A and B are shown apart, each in its own frame.
Chain A
Amino acid sequence: MRMQIEGSQAVAEAIALCQPEVIAAYPISPQTHIVERLSRKTKQGHIGRCQFLNVESEFAALSVLIGASASGARTYTATSSQGLLFMAEAVYNVAGLGLPIVMTIANRAIGAPINIWNDHSDSMALRDAGWIQLFAEDNQDAVDLHIQAFRLAESLSCPVMVCMDGYVLTHAYEPVDVPDAVQVNAYLPPYDPVQVLDPERPVSIGAMVGPEAFTEVKYFLHQQHLRALEVMPELVEAFEQHFQRRSGGLCSAYRMEDADIAVIAMGSVIGTIKDAVDELRNTGVRVGCVKIGCYRPFPKFQVSALLEKTTRVIVVEKDLAVGMGGIVSADVQSALQGRQISVHTVIAGLGGRSISTSSLKHMILEARAERLTEPYFLDLNKTVIEQELARRRDIRRAGPVAEHMLQTMNVIGTKVS
């Protein structure tokens, strides 16, 4: 049913339709609305005999799901930012154990300085943990990706993170088609675990593995990810058949048919980039946009294929590899190995800074004119940096950076844009 609904509420409805048996939750903004709604629906008996556990930390939340998933239950949790880092050890563990847990990441920056707004630092920090990572462009995408995620996870026995931009999506009200139980049940078969803790058939799970087989276990996980690259397009096709709309997928192109320049990004910023592309196209600039919908496994060949006619690639990413630059752009570069294409790294939207169409347009034109510094920080306030550097030169005990920068900028309260 099509309804005007908040992103988090819509995702909660989608999760409920997938009928998880155990949900563990620990509060952190901006994912809280999802689990709040799920706690209500569980209590009301709308999710069968689903058990909702209020736990004492994110580490416990994922650990609870490890036990539940290994007992053959369909499991779900959501987290953000510090919460994801706090459960990092368990995140790796889930993938190593091959448990098909589905987790929403309401993407948010990582402190210090503490910041509750959106960027992709959190899921990027755990990109190599062995979880499949899907990024939602809008709230319809978020709903649909979660339904696909359970089928994907359970078919490969591999965990899936569905990443959606904190606040930008989680707290945005927009029209979303929330499917019904009949549709979801027809698409998503019941969970049939490949391993289960069962007194009738005892197995040891999580035993120590030495150098003799550790590489092979990890290689197997890598193979599962490569399999996901084949399985995912099939799931998208099946989804379209069941729900009459196309959602998800590895990557997709927008106005790329004759584009010299491609802007690559993930998540909700795709909408803004498409606007910038449209406006530049009106002025005769041949630019297009490539969305990466699945970041892990990274669809190297598919991305490369979409960029066949392109001579310049600009990767706009909401994260920063400190001391290096881009994270996504490094992956794009490796996908384009051996080809004569300039790849620019643009760091944008950190800690919730708005990414405007005008800044994007300006940046694209600068890139075309070979005037971008590498990596390029969109809308960077250089004066503040220079003042702070000068202060550091003059005073040894210069104090905390963040607080002085705010003072220099004379910002009262928090200004998001």
Chain B
Amino acid sequence: MTTERIKFYQTGTFTAGNRLLDEATRTVQSRLDRTNSLNSGHRACQGCGEALGARYALDAAMRASHNQLIAVNATGCLEVFSSPYPESAWQIPWMHSLFGNAPAVASGIAAALRAKRRDDVTVIAQGGDGATVDIGFGCLSGMFERNDDVLYLCYDNEAYMNTGIQRSGATPPFARTNTTQAVGEHPGNPIGNGKNVPRIALAHGIPYVATASVADLHDLERKVTKAIGVRGARYIHVHVPCPLGWGSDPAHTMKVARLAVESGLFPLFEAEFGKVICSTPIRRKVPVERYLELQTRFKHLFGPPQDTEALAAIQAMADDNIAVYGLME
């Protein structure tokens, strides 16, 4: 049996450890008054980025809403690993209806609360990238354009993981999935396809849009807290690595997520009413290869022979993000 030494603190990054932060700004994993909205004992895989993102997002939302929260869940990993009766991991009122209707169900809850004069309750809808950018996209756009009082959280792991790793509209170029296999002339997902839903959300002119990553849970908590304080349609797109689908080490989830941010491939920004108002600067830019080489879904790019053209194209995407969002200023 091979063994690996794992350090339980972050090294080789500029991330300030919790111990160095003052008490009020620390990210605390467990304490007596934490609501554990998504409780332990659920069936997520080891190193699941989505479980981590949901846990931090929802506990932050509970704090910000004074525990007055209702959550809707689209079909997907989060729904499946959290809910099988009688072992629901949800400590909050939680509803699952279908794959493609979470935003509309949430709109309905918000409408019912309005009819009943319950303006103290916050409604959250959540789904993976398949539910958000593909099958539920019509309902999402409808919820946005009506400016319904819903915070939508997309946990983006860049493919349909629950059904066994098939390509979604959020799958990055060249990534291997089971429906974009690493065979033939241009192995993996074609470049030039896919959609950027944070930007589409922004184009609806809704009050708040943000991207976040499990690489910076404190930033995720801050953005969720801010979103809870805003009324109307709000959207947060959270980047959540999937060790199973990405072919990364479950112990490297945070590292992979951080490299996506530090390479510029996943820019962190906030927007209000259709305008980007700020972005999180990259302190030390890393080449995209550092991010890609940790994931077997990009293995075919590293050859032999190395696909220098593909790697250059991905680097160009990162550089473009850095320029567009001013990540190195």
Contact = CB atoms under 8 A, between A and B. Distances in A.
Interface in A278-319: none
Contact of B93 (A93, A197, A210): A197
Contacts of A51: 111-112, 114-115
Contacts of B101: 59-60, 63, 66, 90
Interface in A203-247: 203-210, 213
A32 to B, nearest CB: 18
Interface in A172-221: 197-199, 201-210, 213
Interface string B209-241: 000000000000000000000000000000000
- Dominant secondary structure of chain B at its interface with chain A: mixed
A66 B108 contact: yes
Interface in A103-126: none
Contact of B108 (A50, A68, A205): A68
Contacts of A70: 95, 105, 108-109
Nearest to B66: A199
Contacts of B106: 67
Given A49-B117, A55-B104, A208-B80, A71 B92 contact: no
Interface-central residue, B68, B79, B85, B93, by most chain A CB under 10 Å: B93
B120 to A, nearest CB: 9
A97 B96 CA distance: 10
B109 A71 contact: yes
A53 B139 contact: no
A381 to B, nearest CB: 40
A202 B94 contact: yes
Nearest to A71: B112
Contacts of A257: none
Interface string B105-136: 11111111111110001000000000000000
A72 B116 contact: yes
Nearest to A61: B104
B83 interface: yes
Nearest to B142: A56
A239 to B, nearest CB: 27
B72 A73 contact: no
Contact of A90 (B98, B111, B121, B145): B98
A205 B93 CA distance: 8
Given A51-B114, A199-B121, A207-B85, A67 B95 contact: yes
Interface residues of A, number: 44
A199 B66 CA distance: 10
A53 B93 contact: no
Contacts of A64: 104-105, 107-108, 111
Interface residues of B, number: 44
B114 A60 contact: no
A202 B93 CA distance: 4
A60 B106 CA distance: 11
A90 B97 contact: yes
A56 B117 contact: no
A387 interface: no
Nearest to B145: A56
A54 interface: yes
Interface string B80-91: 100111001011
Contact of A22 (B67, B83, B115): B115
Contacts of A53: 107-108, 111, 146, 148
A57 interface: yes
Nearest to A208: B84
Contacts of A72: 112, 116
Contact of A63 (B67, B97, B115): B97
A24 interface: yes
Contacts of B68: 199
Given A22-B112, A60-B104, A197 B95 contact: yes
A204 B92 CA distance: 8
Contacts of B161: none
Contacts of B145: 56
A55 B148 CA distance: 11
B85 A67 contact: no
Interface string B150-191: 000000000000000000000000000000000000000000
A138 interface: no
A116 to B, nearest CB: 23
Contacts of A374: none
A67 B84 contact: no
Nearest to B81: A208
Contacts of B146: 53-55
Contacts of A154: none
A57 to B, nearest CB: 6
A168 interface: no
29 contacts: A22-B112, A24-B108, A48-B115, A49-B116, A53-B111, A53-B148, A56-B145, A59-B100, A60-B104, A63-B97, A63-B108, A67-B105, A67-B106, A68-B109, A70-B109, A75-B108, A89-B100, A93-B97, A197-B109, A201-B93, A202-B92, A204-B95, A205-B95, A205-B96, A207-B84, A207-B85, A208-B79, A208-B80, A210-B84
In the complex, the 5 A-B pairs of residues with the closest C-beta atoms, listed nearest first: A67-B108, A63-B104, A56-B142, A63-B101, A71-B112
